[in-house]
């Protein structure tokens, strides 16, 4: 029994131009404590899959299970709490009219975690866990940098004490140095709190350094699923090779890797 | 050979109710004809405002104060009259932006927008003549069926297509200098890769100089001959691309290079987001 | 706060607006103390002093039954402000709630609520008020009722537009994923982002409510004599133009100043609160 499993998941959108098969018969599983990268270009269906996992979009068919039990479309509070989310855009993720503390506290209040009077100290702990000053909780998001905001988003998600974290391009909107710090933080938190990550990104270099396994998607279908090591040294499909080859790289070693893969194209 | 673009001791401050904030602290940068130069930095480094000053856009702003020289083909953009600055844009200097779809006007066909662009060089151009010329330009950027594309609108086409159209428009009037602000960032990797290749080929054909503004060192490595690293309004390192990548000297450049994840693995390094080392004096590499 | 001061400084007109509004409010609140002839707001007659031009004793002249116009204007401001405050205090919450629910929930709720709003909006405002007053007795209370009935849809539309765009923001998605209730999202997340626009609109609206109320009483449909009202005063004096010009001109100017003041203040607030159009 896997920790988290998707079976034959499909989603079809009805538009005025006809049906759009955004996700087609996708199945994969995730083990507890691992980081599974979900990779694909635009139109690959990765965001749609994320929305279905989070329970905000109903699948057309297929099942999502956690720890052996199938998750119904109308999720229970416990199920909701167990799966949390960090989104891409740090600027829009925090309500400009609420303090940082109020935003982080939302999950605690929704799930009635602890006594109300204890919740502020839980908020402060969540903030310090992500490397932020506890006194930030009374500030508005407007003075914060992108990196700080993203840390707040992470704190908000982790305050709920989830088991599975879905991260949708969590560092794509961040500067180079900031991205490095936040990725470090995410790695450390995963190990410390025994979390499981579904890490959605288009950045293969990030994938190589954070993920245990990689799922490659194209046009709504799962094209390849393998360990990170295998994907990068011996990709099974042409598409994966093309994706790796398109990455703008820095080192000589990386160029050699690309050349090796291209030779087999 | 005198540089096409020669920026000397460029300073820029913004005036707000909080007071005077200095954004650029004396930038020196030059580009020769046909050269591809990159200005690399993170957000807030001042790279975007430098581009806008070259274009002559910020000098007119009420709350902006610029000093120093921005010599384009010998004339100082900072000292020009607004009319002359505007005259440079779209003719001798052009720019492409991060998001291709939103850079095109959704209310007009591509054909109309090409006509507007081409008219800036040749005011008495007829619609038929500009249509023909636009077809040829779209051919150059490998767009199939240019006639249909010209009759379409930006929202009917993909990001990659719009990016090519934008490049075609930017190069339509054979500018001497092309400014590219994070090109391809909004596109998929495979499309971005093709776009950069296309840009490289086109600018070398026409000997167009390019100032590439980016935070993506991988893109810079593939595209630029020389680069300037900018941190908080100061140039901290400059030199030929290969030299800097092989042997970065400045603390900030070293941090940038080691912070980027590699597809060969190696894990994530410990990086300081901000230290005084990053403010160390400028390092210049090799013969230029 | 510093930013607010700076905006007011660079936009002197909004400072003018603030001063005007403050003055009018003070007049309204302290009417009995400021008016030279406080009892002239009621059924008083002094025929000996009737229809006199502005003088040292009566700064704005006297009306047809001898009452001091300046005093009556000050009391009329009281009525106007009360009317404005009551109308807005009722119509704003109604409109806001309708707009919020329609904007966030979407679906058939959105359709039903906004179509009802559209029906109200499609009738020219003054016509609706006149129609209502035609059925009801002309009193201050009924006038307030009529104006409220035609006022709430504007807030519904304003808030609906903002809610609809805020609904796409990341923080709303975050709250939905966390499982916060619809009530929480609508009123604790989205509403605070609507407040700057609502407050600005309320300030601008004070001026317009005064105009509508004055129009109603100009037509004889609002406040009845002897209660002083700016619109009725203009109406009464209109027949005597241009000879006894002070009868209409001063009340007219009073309306102008009030509307002007609230408009300028509203514009200033819009800038301070960073309201986008």
Rounded to whole angstroms, the Cα distance separating A102 from A108 reads 10
Q: pLDDT tens digits for B65-77?
A: 999 999 999 899 9
Q: pLDDT tens digits for A20-61?
A: 899 999 999 999 999 999 999 888 999 999 999 999 899 999
Q: What is the mean pLDDT of residues C224-232?
A: 82
Q: Write down the residue that tokens 């002359």 correspond to.
A: B84
Question: Measured between CA atoms, how close is A163 to chain B, in angstroms?
Answer: 24
Judged by average pLDDT, the poorest of B7-16, B111-120, B159-168, C35-44 is: C35-44
Tell me what percent of the residues of chain A surpass a pLDDT of 70: 99
More confident residue, C222 or B54: B54
Chains in touch with C (≥3 Cβ pairs < 8 A): A, B
How open is the CA angle A123-B269-A34, to the nearest 5 degrees?
Answer: 60
Rounded to whole angstroms, the Cα distance separating A203 from A39 reads 8
Q: Which of B215, B255, B263 sits opposite A204 (nearest CB)?
A: B263
Burial class (CB in 10 A: 0-12, 13-18, 19+), A34: middle
Question: Residues in chain B whose beta carbon is closer than 8 A to a beta carbon of chain A?
Answer: 42-43, 159, 188-190, 192-193, 196, 215-219, 221-222, 245, 255-257, 259-273
* Other Cβ atoms within 10 Å of B279 Cβ, number: 13
Residues of B in contact with A37 (CB under 8 A): none
Look at A93 and C170 and tell me if their CB atoms are within 8 Å. Answer: yes
Indicate which of A143, A175, A252 best probes the interface with B, i.e. most B CBs within 10 Å of its own CB.
A175
Phi, psi of B191 (to 5 degrees): -70, -40
Burial B206-221 (b: 16+ CB within 10 A, else e): eebbbbbbbbbbbbbb
Tell me what percent of the residues of chain B surpass a pLDDT of 70: 99
Question: Measured between CA atoms, how close is B16 to chain C, in angstroms?
Answer: 10
Q: Which of C170, C176, C181 sits opposite A92 (nearest CB)?
A: C170
Residues of C in contact with B17 (CB under 8 A): 2-3, 6
The separation between the first and the last C-alpha atoms of chain A, rounded to the nearest angstrom, is 37
Position B288 confidence tier, pLDDT thresholds 50, 70, 90: very low
Contact present, A84 and A158 (Cβ < 8 Å): yes
Rounded to whole angstroms, the Cα distance separating C74 from C62 reads 14
In Å, how far are A110, B212, B288 from B180, measured between CA atoms? Answer: 47, 5, 22
Q: Which residue of C has its CA nearest to A92?
A: C170
Strand pairing class (B234-240; B226-231): antiparallel
Look at B192 and A242 and tell me if their CB atoms are within 8 Å. Answer: no
Burial C26-53 (b: 16+ CB within 10 A, else e): ebbeebeebbebeebbeeeeeeebebbe
Question: Measured between CA atoms, how close is B22 to chain C, in angstroms?
Answer: 20
Instruction: Estimate to the nearest angstrom the gap between the alpha carbon of B206 and the chain centroid.
Output: 17
* Cβ-based contacts under 8 A for chains B and C: 3
Q: pLDDT tens digits for C109-133?
A: 999 999 999 998 888 877 887 888 7
Q: Write down the residue that tokens 């086109």 correspond to.
A: B202
Q: In what order do the strands lie in the sheet with B64-72?
A: B19-31, B5-16, B64-72, B75-76
Residues of A in contact with B265 (CB under 8 A): 208-209, 232
Rounded to whole angstroms, the Cα distance separating B257 from A255 reads 16
Q: pLDDT tens digits for B200-256?
A: 898 888 899 999 999 889 899 989 999 999 999 999 999 999 999 999 999 999 999
Rounded to whole angstroms, the Cα distance separating B274 from A172 reads 20
pLDDT above 90 (res B187): no
Q: Which residue of B has its CA nearest to C10?
A: B17
In Å, how far are B34, B47, B232, B274 from B26, measured between CA atoms? Answer: 25, 13, 11, 21
DSSP result, B45-60: SSHHHHHHHHTT-GGG
pLDDT above 70 (res C1): no
Residues of B in contact with A202 (CB under 8 A): 188-189
ipTM of the complex: 0.91
pLDDT above 90 (res C142): no
Tell me what percent of the residues of chain A surpass a pLDDT of 90: 73
Beta bridge partners of A165: A84, A197
> What are the residues whose beta carbons fall under 8 Å from the beta carbon of B189, sequence distance 6 or more?
A41, A202, A204, A243, A246, A247, A248
Residues of B in contact with A205 (CB under 8 A): 218, 260-263
Residue B271 confidence (pLDDT) = 80
Rounded to whole angstroms, the Cα distance separating C133 from C221 reads 6
Residues of C in contact with B19 (CB under 8 A): none
pLDDT above 90 (res C221): no
pTM value?
A: 0.87
Residues of C in contact with A160 (CB under 8 A): 178
Beta bridge partners of A225: A215
Judged by average pLDDT, the poorest of A60-64, B120-124, B231-235, B267-271 is: B267-271
Q: What is the mean pLDDT of residues B274-282?
A: 81
Residue A2 confidence (pLDDT) = 87
* Other Cβ atoms within 10 Å of B242 Cβ, number: 13
Burial class (CB in 10 A: 0-12, 13-18, 19+), A131: middle
In Å, how far are A185, B261, C14 from C230, measured between CA atoms? Answer: 67, 73, 24
Indicate which of C106, C171, C188, C274 best probes the interface with A, i.e. most A CBs within 10 Å of its own CB.
C171
Look at A180 and B259 and tell me if their CB atoms are within 8 Å. Answer: yes
Q: What is the mean pLDDT of residues A103-113?
A: 93
Question: Measured between CA atoms, how close is C8 to chain B, in angstroms?
Answer: 12
Q: pLDDT tens digits for A231-254?
A: 999 999 999 999 999 888 888 899
Sign of CA dihedral A65, A71, A77, A78: negative
Q: Which residue of C has its CA nearest to B18?
A: C3
Q: What is the mean pLDDT of residues B11-40?
A: 91
Q: What is the mean pLDDT of residues C153-180?
A: 94
Q: Which residue of A has its CA nearest to B160?
A: A42
Strand pairing class (A213-218; A35-39): parallel
Does the beta carbon of A44 lie under 8 angstroms from any beta carbon of chain B?
A: no
Residue B82 confidence (pLDDT) = 87
Does the beta carbon of A24 lie under 8 angstroms from any beta carbon of chain C?
A: no
Does the beta carbon of C242 lie under 8 angstroms from any beta carbon of chain A?
A: no
Rounded to whole angstroms, the Cα distance separating B17 from B135 reads 50
Q: What is the mean pLDDT of residues B184-197?
A: 84
Q: What is the mean pLDDT of residues A169-195?
A: 93
DSSP result, C73-97: HHHHHHHHHHHHHHHHHHHHHHHHH
Look at B192 and A243 and tell me if their CB atoms are within 8 Å. Answer: no
Rounded to whole angstroms, the Cα distance separating B224 from B200 reads 9
Residue C277 confidence (pLDDT) = 46
How open is the CA angle C118-C120-C125, to the nearest 5 degrees?
Answer: 125
Question: Measured between CA atoms, how close is A56 to chain C, in angstroms?
Answer: 7
Rounded to whole angstroms, the Cα distance separating C24 from C30 reads 10
Look at B264 and A42 and tell me if their CB atoms are within 8 Å. Answer: no
Q: Which of A84, A94, A103 sits opposite C177 (nearest CB)?
A: A84
The residue among C54, C85, C70, C104 whose CA lies nearest residue C228 is C70
Chains in touch with A (≥3 Cβ pairs < 8 A): B, C
Rounded to whole angstroms, the Cα distance separating A39 from A201 reads 6
Residue C276 confidence (pLDDT) = 56
Residue B286 confidence (pLDDT) = 60
Question: Measured between CA atoms, how close is A212 to chain B, in angstroms?
Answer: 12
Judged by average pLDDT, the poorest of A155-169, C130-144, C148-162 is: C130-144
More confident residue, C145 or A224: A224
Q: Could you give the 3-state DSSP secondary structure of residue B120?
A: helix
Indicate which of A81, A106, A113, A126 best probes the interface with C, i.e. most C CBs within 10 Å of its own CB.
A106
Sign of CA dihedral A31, A37, A41, A42: positive
Look at B262 and A203 and tell me if their CB atoms are within 8 Å. Answer: no
Residue C131 confidence (pLDDT) = 83
């Amino acid at each position: 029994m896997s920790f988290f499993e998707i079976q034959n998941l499909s989603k079809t959108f009805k538009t005025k131009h006809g049906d759009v098969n955004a996700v087609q018969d996708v199945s994969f599983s995730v083990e507890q404590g691992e980081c599974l990268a979900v990779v694909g270009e635009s139109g690959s269906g990765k965001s749609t899959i994320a929305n279905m996992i989070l329970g905000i979009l109903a699948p057309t068919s297929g099942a999502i299970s956690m720890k052996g039990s199938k998750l119904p479309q109308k999720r229970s509070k416990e199920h909701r709490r167990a799966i949390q989310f960090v989104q891409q855009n740090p600027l829009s993720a925090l309500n400009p009219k609420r303090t940082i503390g109020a935003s982080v506290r939302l999950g605690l209040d929704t799930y009635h975690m602890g006594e109300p009077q204890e919740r502020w100290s839980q908020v402060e702990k969540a903030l310090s866990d992500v490397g932020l000053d506890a006194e930030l909780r009374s500030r508005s998001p407007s003075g914060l940098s992108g990196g700080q905001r993203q840390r707040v988003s992470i704190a908000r998600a982790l305050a709920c004490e989830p088991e599975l974290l879905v991260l949708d391009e969590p560092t794509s909107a961040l500067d180079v140095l900031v991205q490095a710090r936040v990725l470090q933080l995410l790695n450390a938190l995963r190990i410390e709190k025994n979390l499981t990550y579904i890490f959605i990104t288009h950045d293969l270099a990030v994938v190589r350094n954070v993920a245990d396994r990689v799922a490659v998607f194209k046009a709504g279908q799962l094209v390849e699923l393998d360990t990170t090591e295998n994907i990068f040294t011996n990709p099974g499909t042409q598409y994966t090779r093309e994706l790796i080859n398109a990455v703008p790289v820095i080192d000589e070693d990386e160029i050699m890797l690309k050349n090796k893969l291209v030779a087999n194209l | 050979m005198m540089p096409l673009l020669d920026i000397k001791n460029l300073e820029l401050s913004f005036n707000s109710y909080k007071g005077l904030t200095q954004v650029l602290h004396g930038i020196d940068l030059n580009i020769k004809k046909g050269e591809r130069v990159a200005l690399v930095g993170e957000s807030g480094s001042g790279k975007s405002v430098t581009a806008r000053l070259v274009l002559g856009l910020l000098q007119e702003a009420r709350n902006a104060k610029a000093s120093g020289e921005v010599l384009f083909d010998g004339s100082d953009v900072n000292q020009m009259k607004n009319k002359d600055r505007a005259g440079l844009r779209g003719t001798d200097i052009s720019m492409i932006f991060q998001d291709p779809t939103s850079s095109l006007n959704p209310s007009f066909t591509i054909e109309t927008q090409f006509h507007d662009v081409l008219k800036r060089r040749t005011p008495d151009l007829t619609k038929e003549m500009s249509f023909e010329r636009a077809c040829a330009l779209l051919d150059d950027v490998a767009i199939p069926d240019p006639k249909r594309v010209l009759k379409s609108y930006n929202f009917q086409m993909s990001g990659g297509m719009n990016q090519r159209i934008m490049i075609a428009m930017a190069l339509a009037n054979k500018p001497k200098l092309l400014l590219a602000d994070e090109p391809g960032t909004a596109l998929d990797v495979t499309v971005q890769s093709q776009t950069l290749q296309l840009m490289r080929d086109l600018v070398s054909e026409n000997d167009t100089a390019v100032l590439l503004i980016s935070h993506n060192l991988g893109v810079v490595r593939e595209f630029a001959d020389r680069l300037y690293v900018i941190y908080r309004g100061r140039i901290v390192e400059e030199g030929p691309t290969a030299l800097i990548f092989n042997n970065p000297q400045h603390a900030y450049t070293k941090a940038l290079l080691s912070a980027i994840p590699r597809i060969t693995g190696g894990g994530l390094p410990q990086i300081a987001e901000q230290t005084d080392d990053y403010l160390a004096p400028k390092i210049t590499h090799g013969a230029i | 706060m510093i930013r607010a001061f700076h905006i007011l400084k660079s936009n002197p007109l909004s400072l003018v607006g603030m001063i005007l509004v403050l003055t009018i409010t003070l007049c309204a609140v302290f009417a009995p103390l400021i008016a030279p002839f406080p009892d002239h707001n009621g059924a008083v007659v002094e025929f000996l002093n009737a229809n006199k031009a502005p003088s040292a004793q009566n700064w704005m002249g006297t009306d047809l039954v001898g009452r001091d116009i300046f005093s009556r204007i000050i009391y009329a401001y009281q009525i106007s402000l009360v009317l404005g405050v009551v109308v807005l205090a009722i119509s704003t919450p109604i409109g806001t709630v309708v707009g919020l629910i329609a904007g966030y929930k979407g679906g058939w709720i959105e359709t039903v609520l906004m179509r009802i709003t559209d029906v109200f909006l499609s009738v020219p405002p003054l016509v609706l008020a006149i129609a209502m007053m035609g059925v009801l007795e002309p009193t201050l209370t009924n006038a307030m009722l009529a104006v409220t009935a035609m006022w709430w849809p504007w807030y519904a539309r304003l808030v609906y537009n903002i809610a609809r765009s805020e609904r796409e923001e990341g923080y709303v998605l975050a709250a939905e994923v966390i499982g916060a209730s619809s009530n929480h999202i609508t009123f604790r997340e989205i509403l605070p982002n609507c407040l700057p626009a609502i407050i600005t609109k309320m300030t601008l609206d004070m001026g317009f409510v005064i105009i509508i109320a004055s129009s109603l009483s100009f037509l004889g449909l609002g406040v009845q004599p002897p209660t002083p009202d700016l619109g009725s005063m203009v109406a009464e004096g209109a027949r005597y133009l241009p000879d006894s010009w002070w009868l209409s001109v001063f009340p007219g100017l009073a309306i102008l100043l009030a509307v002007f003041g609230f408009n300028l203040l509203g514009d200033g607030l819009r800038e301070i609160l960073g309201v986008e159009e």
